[in-house]
Amino acid sequence: MELSYAIEMMFKDIIPSLRHKNDGLIFTCLNAPYTCGTDETLLKWKPPNENSVDFLLNLQFPLLPGSLNDYNYDSMPKFKLSVWEGGNKYSEMYDMYVSPEEWEQMKALGEPLNHRLVECICDSKKRWRFYRFRDDKSHGNFIDVVLNVLKSIDDGVDKEELKNAAYEIKKQFKARAANKSKT
């Protein structure tokens, strides 16, 4: 554990020396008690390109011309992403962008794609893009988690902004410590 203003050291020394993958930082409040479940005093930071969401993927194929119930499985489907609302309830919320080349790669896997959990990242054009399958999970992200990730993406605090804030964070930390020692 490091002080929150040691951000430069965290990026330069600590994270590169880790033996495992690191995709972000967690800032905790010094005086907050341990909380089971969601802790509103935590601040999780990830680089904008590391923010991801696990969705349920549904493929919607177009109907064959002149048909009311026969689908054209040779065509490229629409990729619909649904968020989990608890129990067995999912709500369709987004589309996943897939290029024709990516669609060919997905088909070449020879694996079922429909009704599968997928991890997606939001690209620079604000489109959800496939990152990987999440066969290790039984549900996609809960709606509240999805909304929090969207807020984080919209906030878009990058590494440089975090490093630039270190001086002010340290200044405020020292001021609180000085006030505490006076009491």
Q: What is the pLDDT of residues 79-110, one digit of tens each?
A: 999 999 999 999 999 999 999 999 999 999 99
Whole-prediction pTM: 0.75
Q: Which domain holds residue 56?
A: 50-155
Residues 148 and 172 grouped into a single domain? no
Indicate the number of domains in the chain. 2
Task: Report pLDDT for 129.
Answer: 97
Residues of the chain with pLDDT under 70: 1-5, 183
- Determine how many CB atoms are found less than 10 A away from the CB of residue 145: 15
Q: How far apart (Å, rounded) are the C-alpha atoms in residues 51 and 45?
A: 9
Residues 59 and 34 in one domain: no
Which helix (H) or strand (E) segment holds residue 162: the answer is helix 159-164
Tokens of 90: 């999912």
Cα distances from 86 to residues 28, 119, 182, in angstroms, run 28, 18, 49
Q: Kindly state the helix (H) or strand (E) to which residue 25 belongs, with its residue range.
A: strand 25-27
Q: Exposure of 163 by Cβ count < 10 A (0-12 exposed, 13-18 middle, 19+ buried)?
A: middle
Q: In terms of domains, do 127 and 162 share one?
A: no
- φ, ψ (nearest 5 deg) of residue 99: -75, 160
Q: List, in order, residues 6 or more apart from 137 with CB less than 8 Å away.
A: 54, 117
Same domain as 55, residue 12: no
Q: Considering the domain boundaries, does residue 143 fall inside one?
A: yes
Together in a domain, 175 and 121: no
pLDDT of 1 reads 59
Q: What's the pLDDT score for residue 135?
A: 97
Instruction: Enumerate the β-bridge partners of residue 83.
Output: 91
Q: What is the pLDDT of residue 170?
A: 80
**1 belongs to a structural domain:** no
Alpha helices in 22-142 (DSSP H): 100-108
Give the pLDDT confidence score for residue 56 in this predicted structure: 98
Q: Closest Cα to residue 152, out of 7, 42, 3, 19? A: 42
